[in-house]
Amino acid sequence: MPKDGEIKSGIGASSKRREDVRFLTGNGNYTDDINIRGQAYVFFLRSDVAHGTLNSVDTSAASAMPGVVQIFTGADFEAVGGIPCGWEVTDKHGQPMQEPKHPVLAHGKVRHVGEPIAAVVADSLEQARDAAEAIEVDISELPAVINMKDAFKEGATKVHDDLTSNLCYDWGFVEENKGAVEEAFKNAHHVTTLELVNNRLVANPMEPRVAIGDYARSDEQHTLYTTSQNPHVIRLLMGAFVLGIPEHKLRVVAPDVGGGFGTKIFHYQEEAFCTFAAKACNRPVKWTSSRSEAFMSDAHGRDHVTTIQLALDKDNNFTALRTDTLANMGAYLSTFASSVPTWLHGTLMAGNYKTPLIYVNVKAMFTNTVPVDAYRGAGRPEATYQIERVIDMAARELGADPVALRRQNYVTEFPYATPVAVEYDTGDYHATMDKLEEIADFTGFEARRKESEAKGKWRGLGINNYIEACGIAPSNLVGQLGARAGLYDAATVRVNATGSISVMVGAHSHGQGHETAFPQVVADMIGIDESQIDIVHGDTSKIPFGMGTYGSRSLAVCGSAMVRATEKIIAKAKKIAAHLLEASDTDIELKDGMFSVAGTDKSVAWGDVTLAAYVPHNYPLEEIEPGLEETAFYDPSNFTYPAGAYACEVEVDPDTGKVTIERFAAADDFGNVINPMIVSGQVHGGIAQGVGQALLEGCSYDEESGQLLTGSYMDYAMPRADDLPFYSVDHSCQTPCTHNPLGVKGCGEAGAIGSPPSVVNAVIDALNSGGKKVAHIDMPLTPDRVWNAINNA
Amino acid sequence: MYNFEFEKPSSIADAVAALGGDEAQALGGGQTLIPTLKQRLASPTTLVSLSNIPEMQGICTGDDGALCIGGATTHGAVASGAGAYPGLAALAGHIGDPAVRNRGTIGGSLANNDPSACYPAAALASGATLVTNTREIASDDYFVGMFETALEEGEIVTEVRFPIPQASHYEKFVQPASRFALVGVMVAKFADGVRVAITGASEEGVFRWAEAETALSVNFSPDALDGLTLDADNMIGDLHGSKEYRAHLCGVIAKRAVAKAA
């Protein structure tokens, strides 16, 4: 393959991110930048107790306060639907999950700190806050259920009185394999058992959530401006399930969005509220989340407690794997919460290995905490962390080389049908590990370890593989699995008369660089300059009904739709060219923006053909329509399976327990790469978040009171630039996806999925090199935790 | 934020007069107070800014050789202007981030006495004198407890006088989220002995470590601290570190401070 920088434009070029011009010069147009004449502001009065009976909400005094337009409580929303869950999981007995109503404003009970109880709409935000303080709320506090193990106990306080217990579902996968897995464990030569926690995280995109509802009485048209990764999904969920607004009367706009990381996929109460209140008050209603509100109202991520066991035979072949996981749902089911610990997690438990027998049990629990849903990687980081930690532990127990143990068990033949219901289309795990050994300089490690020891530090090397399922997803498959939405995507390619092109896409860019990368593909196909092409996204009134951006799906799914639409454009343009050149369209070739008749010097330029399409004076109107605009919908036939190998080198300060990352290397196989620079940037950011999870970030609740202990940046540690080393990232190992037209696999989540195990493996390696027989430490590996592990070893 | 009146006097006398009003509150750099106001956790009637008082600004050397720093001098100004006391300048240069250092003031920090702030360790280890509008307070008498000082209602820190030690260093082990001190140790070696002050660790706020001072006054080297320990009982125990961990860190960080003292 060509080296980075060799390709100057089109597919494979590291074109500079054109959207950064506006982002870096303060000219972005974020939701909070939108102000509509006459808008009012809403302040949500949120519960400060984790669990309680809501006896009364008295708004009479508050309603008389200056500037108050209207105050809403749960009673105002009794007639509308609850916030829906988009995925119904069926439990191991064939029963549907327990699905509580998720009210827009709390009604009857409050179930987590931060749940909105009342909403004050006023002329100014300060007036709304003043009035909110005058609302008298009478709550009888109930015991809070925070710890999942407590929630599961017989007789535990119930988060939802109308459910039979706190268990959302008890999922077994693959249930039919369970007996065979148990048998394999009985016959195992060695079994490694590991209990671990996948720590709860708060996504913390730089831009907090914002929603503005607007309503035009004249034509009954609702508009919601919102910080969303998928405006059509919000329109569908909110219009059809919550507020009962026909889709043609509801426009959802997600303009520039400052980071999503999953937490802006979901439909939130505040969006429904602003849309509802704009009509009720006949005024635009705006809500801007504070960072404090974000901590207690944005869906959190991860939060699994797992026991994993790996069985090996006498030759160190993996023979079986089984897991028991408690997965926290929080107080309500967020949009895709139920799918994360099941279909996005259980199906990845084979990892990169040919383990023949696997059984995964997941018990999803309701607790009095903020709802938990997808966060960068969503289920796949949880799977990868378990697999790669238990393999490392097995290697240590057996005295095996951790790289050799992995290599020995790699899947090497493709397509490969795993025992957990997915089929890997392609991959080469030895190739990425070979590349990793090179770029991470494994051979120089011992010398570096000695240098560290000379400074009184312990050095460790941790490695891991990962695989993920991206390009979400084949609609018919996910429909069978309980998804309540299709997961295709769509693109419209609109060629203008002078040859420039607008591409309307269902994908949404909130940091991914679509405005740069997508035009590279179309430019390459037609042979014109990238600057001739613009991407339009984020407004349901402008784009086709696509499903948005998450699960590293944009290029693999929406990009494929764009390719299909562009193919239609080219086919039609060739017919027009054939007419102009008085030739047969089967003889027309398109190269570098010129149509020519094969074997002749007759040609016509792209711009002349597009002009003819819109000024059809000399045009075969009886055969083809004028104009040049095509739409394609693309539904993938399989997931894509990016995979790779990561290495982390750490130094541990034995006196303080402080871990510093000295080196980090990532060798990824993303299939074909459209813009290598953007791909590297995606991996860089993903690793930062993975390192954040491994060393710094941990969302914590007081288990008695249910108060959020990490409710601000004073206590919730985000990774900063100086927590991270310069990375060595490589994506030259490319086994193109076999089933989408671009051969791409997706790169958005890999860094966050692939990095936590290597960090933890490295720290465990360092401690053992220092003579401390530490088998495991739960993330985040704070200095306090590492020091305790050293001291107790 | 609730509504408040705002006054920006240009002399200490005017500031003191303004602070005599009902529910008046002094505003230094606002690095703690402004976030508190934004969260509606305080509701002063009047905010009296101390940032426009020339006599509270700047750094000079007193007749006794002490480094005198105006109470409204920012951390950034101390970092760049306190070269005569390198240990203090370095401490100031590592408080917060540039935005904090360009707004936050030494008087504001010492008046707030956050148990994890850096300046209290510097003042106490240096044996500094806190000059207010009414009196001079020795640092040993000034720090009363967590967020508590000897300041009376309406009394403001107008200047801090730091005796300059022969050698000093402030070593900070940061809390990973806030990057305040999880444990911060200031050591200052004077002709008549060594002073050691620790911030971040104790539930009672900044404190002097007497045993370490005695040992270091005999032998100013890290080894002198071998075997010395602090009782974990009074330490802060929270998400970021247990009481035992903080007690342990005090010893480790004190040694590092001594090793780096120059």
Q: Tell me whether residues A716 and B177 touch, CB distance under 8 A.
A: yes
Domains of chain B: residue spans and CATH: 5-49 (3.30.43.10), 57-162 (3.30.465.10), 167-260 (3.30.390.50)
Cβ distance A715 to B239 less than 8 Å, yes or no, reads yes
pTM surpassing 0.95? yes
Which of chain A's residues have a Cβ under 8 Å away from the Cβ of B241?
A: 782-784
Q: Which residue of B has its CA nearest to A782?
A: B240
Give the chain B residue whose CA is nearest to the CA of A695: B176
Q: Provide the pLDDT for residue A4.
A: 65
Please tell me if residue B252 touches chain A, with a CB cutoff of 8 Å.
yes
From CA B178, how far away is CA B176, in angstroms rounded? 6
Closest residue on chain B to A292 (Cα): B39
Check: CB of residue A788 under 8 Å from CB of residue A657. Answer: yes
Would you say A388 and A464 are in contact if contact means Cβ atoms under 8 Å apart?
A: yes
The shortest CB-CB distance from A784 to any of B1, B241, B252 is to: B241
Strand partners, A730: A667
* A129 interfaces chain B, CB cutoff of 8 Å: yes
pLDDT on residue A8: 86
Whether omega for the bond prior to residue A415 falls within 30 degrees of 0, making it cis, is yes
ipTM strictly over 0.90? yes
In this complex, is the C-beta atom of B39 within 8 Å of any C-beta atom belonging to chain A? Answer: yes
- Which residues in chain A are closer than 8 Å to B248, comparing Cβ atoms? 787
CB contact under 8 Å between A787 and B248, yes or no, is yes
- From B115's Cα to the closest Cα of chain A, the distance in A is 14
Please tell me which of the candidates A126, A713, A782 has its beta carbon nearest to residue B240.
Answer: A782
Q: List A residues 633-662 in contact with B (Cβ-Cβ < 8 A).
A: 655-658
Q: Is A454 on the interface with B (CB under 8 A)?
A: no
H or E element in which residue A594 lies: strand A594-597
> Which of B178, B239, B245 is the closest to A787 by Cβ?
B245
Contact B177 A783 (CB under 8 A): no
Question: How far B246 CA lies from chain A's nearest CA (Å)?
Answer: 9
pLDDT digits (tens, 9 = 90+) for B149-187: 999 999 999 999 999 999 999 999 999 999 999 999 999
Residue of A292, A718, A784 with shortest CB distance to B242: A784
Residue type, B176: P
Q: How far is CA A630 from CA A231, A636, B203, in A?
A: 22, 19, 69
Report the C-alpha gap between A400 and B180 in whole angstroms.
43
Name residues 47-106 of chain A within 8 A of B (Cβ): none
The token duo for A95 is 């029963």
Chain B closest-CA separation from residue A700 CA (Å): 8
CA distance B145 to chain A (A): 21
Q: Do B1 and A126 touch (CB under 8 A)?
A: yes
Burial (CB count <10 Å: 0-12, 13-18, 19+), residue B173: buried
CB contact under 8 A, A710 and B177: yes
Among A126, A133, A715, the residue with its CB nearest the CB of B177 is A715
Nearest Cα to Cα of residue A624 among A588, A583, A571, A581: A571
In angstroms, the separation between the Cα of residue A449 and the nearest Cα of chain B is: 23
Three-state SS sequence of A137-165: EEEEECCCCCCHHHHHCCCCCCCCCCCCC
What's residue A3's pLDDT? 66
Q: How distant is the Cα of A162 from the closest Cα of chain B, in angstroms?
A: 35
Under DSSP, the state recorded for A9 is: S
Residues of chain A with pLDDT under 50: none
**b/e code B34-52 from CB counts within 10 Å (16+ = b):** eeebeeeebebebbbbbbe
pLDDT in tens, A444-498: 999 999 999 999 999 999 999 999 999 998 999 999 999 999 999 999 999 999 9
Cβ neighbours of A129 in B, within 8 Å: 40
> How do residues A558-574 score in pLDDT, each as one tens digit?
999 999 999 999 999 99
Strand order in the sheet with B67-70: B59-61, B67-70, B157-162, B129-132, B136-138
Distance from CA of A702 to the nearest CA of B (A): 10
Residue-range domains of chain A with CATH: 20-28+488-634 (3.30.365.10), 34-142+206-259+264-297 (3.90.1170.50), 304-473+638-792 (3.30.365.10)
Q: Which of A655, A710, A714 sits opposite B252 (nearest CB)?
A: A655
Question: How many Cα atoms occupy the beta-carbon half-sphere of A164 within 13 Å?
Answer: 6
Do the chains contact at A658 and B173, CB–CB below 8 Å?
yes
Structure tokens at A572: 């039609």
Distance from CA of A331 to the nearest CA of B (A): 23
Answer whether B225's CB lies under 8 Å from B216's CB: yes
Report phi then psi at B24, rounded to 5: -85, 150
A524 sits in which H/E element: helix A514-526
Contact A100, A162 (CB under 8 A): yes
B262 pLDDT above the threshold of 90: no
Average pLDDT over chain B reads 97
Whose tokens are 């693999």? That residue is A556
Q: Do residues B216 and B187 touch, judged by C-beta distance below 8 A?
A: yes
Interchain contact, A788 vs B245, CB within 8 Å: yes
Q: Does A709 touch chain B (CB under 8 A)?
A: yes
Give yes or no for a contact between B4 and B150, defined as CB atoms under 8 angstroms apart. Answer: no
A20: CB partners within 8 A, 6+ apart: none
Looking at the complex, report in whole angstroms how far the Cα of residue B11 sits from the nearest Cα belonging to chain A.
33
* CB atoms B178 and A714 under 8 Å: yes
Residues in chain A closer than 8 A to B252 (CB atoms) = 655-656
Longest CA pairwise span in chain A (Å):
86
What is the predicted pLDDT for the residue at A6? 81
CB-nearest to B176 from A126, A292, A696 is A696
CB contact under 8 A, B177 and A782: no
Rounded to a whole number of angstroms, the distance from the CA of B3 to the nearest CA of chain A is 9
DSSP states along B140-177: HHHEEETTEESPPTT--EEEEEEPPPSEEEEEEEE-TT
Nearest beta carbon to residue B239 from set A129, A709, A713: A709
B249 touches chain A (CB under 8 A): yes
